[in-house]
Amino acid sequence: MKNPGIVTFLSDYGLEDEFVGVCHGVMLRIAPHLKIIDIDHNILRQDIRHGAIVLQQSLPFLPDSVHLAVVDPTVGSGRKAIAIETGWGEHFVGPDNGVLIPAAESSGGIKRVHEISDESFLLRPISRTFQGRDVFAPATAHLAAGVDPSDLGAELKIDELVPLEIPAAWIHDDHLHAEALQVDRFGNLQLNLGRQQLAQVGLEDAARLEVRIEGHRLNIGLGASYSHVEQGEFVLVEDSYRYLSLSVNKGDAAAQLRARAGSTAIVGPSSG
């Protein structure tokens, strides 16, 4: 492992309860030297795709680590607990439900994967409702302390992992069919397209675009920043991950449009 001793942690646990703190405690009891980076614990409840998107987008800005992601709506079922090693030497720990897959594939591809099953690396008894504490946190700490993934359990076939694909915008004539990937706390709707996709339909230099979303038909400026338009007006800006974000200057686009992650959007040439 490149840099043992660093763990990143993402979950849908929220911060109202003790779950995140308890997982921290479990990891630090096993490996007191660990440094733990909390990426996000406000992933939409049980929303595997949201967790996968945030993990993948955050990855380029994180140190070499063991990445722990727990978004686990089928906890206590027959789904496997897994540890992935990538071609770039990164490690990912979490449930086999797809939440790890986009980030792992962006980190040099999946090199090997092991089931987390050896009870000597887990807490006992194992809760059927809080396996973040009893399975994933201890396995993560042991990996960060230098344990090889092969010690955790049997090797699994990569092509048998539960897949998850983050959707991409697609072209139809002179416009793009897109989707909102996520909504941030400011109400900005991150669309699954960027300037590269606009160029594919000849709109990379357009000053304004038409966006149809949730029954609304908007003629919107394409700006470099939110302040490209007056307060309260809609604007499309390139966000920090180079996706186009549908926003309102000093407002909440998602609330005004009654849109959410998964809302579809048609983006094309302005009609006005």
In a domain, 197, yes or no: yes
DSSP string, 143-206: HHTT--GGGTS-EE-GGGSPP------EEETTEEEEEEEEE-TT--EEES--HHHHHHTT-TT-
Q: Report H helices in 12-153.
A: 19-30, 48-58, 101-105, 131, 137-144
Tokens of 27: 């990891």
Are 186 and 80 contained in the same domain?
Answer: no
Contact 164, 49 (CB under 8 A): yes
Q: What is the pLDDT of residues 42-78, one digit of tens each?
A: 999 999 999 999 999 999 999 999 999 999 999 989 8
Starting at the edge strand found earlier in the chain, the sheet holding 91-95 runs: 35-40, 6-11, 66-70, 91-95, 81-86, 110-115, 155-156
For the cut 60, the answer to whether the pLDDT of residue 256 exceeds it is yes
CA distance 43 to 4: 26
For the cut 70, the answer to whether the pLDDT of residue 144 exceeds it is yes
Domain boundary among 104, 134, 160: 160
Q: Which residues contact 128 (CB under 8 A, 6 or more apart)?
A: 75, 76
For the cut 80, the answer to whether the pLDDT of residue 4 exceeds it is no
Are 147 and 236 contained in the same domain?
Answer: no
Q: What pLDDT does 272 receive?
A: 64
Do strands 189-191 and 244-248 pair parallel, antiparallel, or not at all (unpaired)? antiparallel
- Residue of 39, 42, 41 whose CA lies nearest to 56: 39
Q: What is the pLDDT of residues 54-64, one digit of tens each?
A: 999 999 999 99
Q: What is the pLDDT of residues 224-252, one digit of tens each?
A: 889 889 999 999 999 999 999 999 999 99
For the cut 80, the answer to whether the pLDDT of residue 3 exceeds it is no
For the cut 90, the answer to whether the pLDDT of residue 34 exceeds it is yes
Domain span including residue 145: 6-160
Are 75 and 179 contained in the same domain?
Answer: no
In a domain, 1, yes or no: no
For the cut 90, the answer to whether the pLDDT of residue 1 exceeds it is no
Are 137 and 62 contained in the same domain?
Answer: yes
Q: What pLDDT does 186 receive?
A: 96
pTM, full prediction: 0.93
Are 208 and 74 contained in the same domain?
Answer: no
Q: Based on the structure, what is the number of domains in the chain?
A: 2
- Residue of 213, 204, 209, 237 whose CA lies nearest to 223: 237
Q: Which residues contact 2 (CB under 8 A, 6 or more apart)?
A: 64, 89, 90
Identify the CATH number of the domain in which residue 197 sits: 2.40.30.90
